């Protein structure tokens, strides 16, 4: 787990499926919160940038020029959304793409990465994973969807992300379960909802990935909630 301290010109980029928490906010904080789904990136062509967005670092400090450009674009995007009753149109999508590309231009870790077949395949795999992870936990299913062999998918995803497809499947499930553990649902009910064969299997996997059991995680969350009130 990492903590990031954002000041003027700072951007925290949270990828879909990531569990985050705000530790502290200053009294004079100002900024924008921009949320979008991955499929927005597919609605127009971003052949060179889409895979780079997938690998963007979690925290960026924008230079003054990029900061100025983005802070001008965001209010215009917001106005366009309100004028269209919060319906997304081509103008909004284009502006989102422009904002993301401007951010990429300041990210030295991704700026020089060009899209490759393994990168694109890894991105497509993750898009499918967010859609199907609850009902499908077999790597073969995703390989079939992507029209590649299971071994090739394993090779590409592991090479690009340093994690195997199965690791991604397990971690997405456990991250999703953490949100469900904030509710009053029984642990067995959560395991069933996430399509685990047994509650014990879910508990074993949760502890393997998180280091604690679902029950211990829920207790920690409740204790922290009481402290913060």
Superfamily of the domain at 117-228? Homeodomain-like (1.10.10.60)
Please tell me the least confidently modeled range out of 40-44, 159-163, 170-174: 40-44
Residue 222 has pLDDT above 90, yes or no: no
Closest alpha carbon to 138 in 111, 110, 173, 107? 173
SS (H, E, C) 90-151: HHHHHHHHHHHHHHHHHCHHHHCCCCCHHHHHHHHHHHHHHHHCCCCCCHHHHHHHCCCCHH
Instruction: Show me where the domains of the chain are located.
Output: 10-111, 117-228
> Mind listing the pLDDT tens digit for each residue in 107-122?
655 444 555 788 888 8
Q: How confident is the model at residue 39 (pLDDT cuts 50, 70, 90)?
A: low
pLDDT for 112 equals 46
pLDDT for 29 equals 83
> Mind listing the pLDDT tens digit for each residue in 122-153?
888 988 898 899 999 999 999 999 999 999 99
């Amino acid at each position: 787990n990492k903590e990031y301290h954002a000041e003027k010109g700072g951007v925290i980029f949270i990828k879909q499926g990531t569990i985050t928490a705000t530790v502290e906010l200053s009294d004079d904080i100002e900024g924008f919160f921009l949320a979008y789904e991955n499929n927005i990136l597919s609605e127009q062509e971003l052949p060179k940038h889409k895979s780079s967005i997938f690998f963007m670092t979690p925290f960026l400090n924008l230079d003054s020029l990029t900061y100025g450009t983005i802070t001008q674009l965001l209010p215009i995007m917001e106005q366009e959304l309100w004028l269209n009753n919060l319906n997304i149109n081509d103008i909004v999508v284009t502006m989102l793409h422009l904002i993301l590309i401007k951010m990429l231009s300041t990210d030295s870790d991704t700026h020089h990465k060009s899209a490759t077949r393994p990168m694109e395949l890894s991105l497509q795999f993750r898009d499918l994973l967010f859609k199907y992870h609850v009902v499908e936990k077999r790597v073969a299913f995703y390989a079939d969807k992507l029209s590649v062999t299971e071994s090739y998918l394993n090779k590409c995803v592991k090479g690009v992300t340093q994690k195997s497809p199965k690791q991604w499947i397990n971690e997405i499930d456990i991250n999703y379960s953490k949100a469900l553990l904030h509710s009053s649902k029984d642990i067995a009910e959560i395991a069933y909802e996430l399509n685990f064969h047994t509650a014990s299997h879910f508990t074993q996997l949760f502890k393997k990935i998180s280091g604690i059991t679902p029950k211990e995680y829920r207790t920690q969350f409740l204790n922290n909630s009481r402290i913060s009130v």
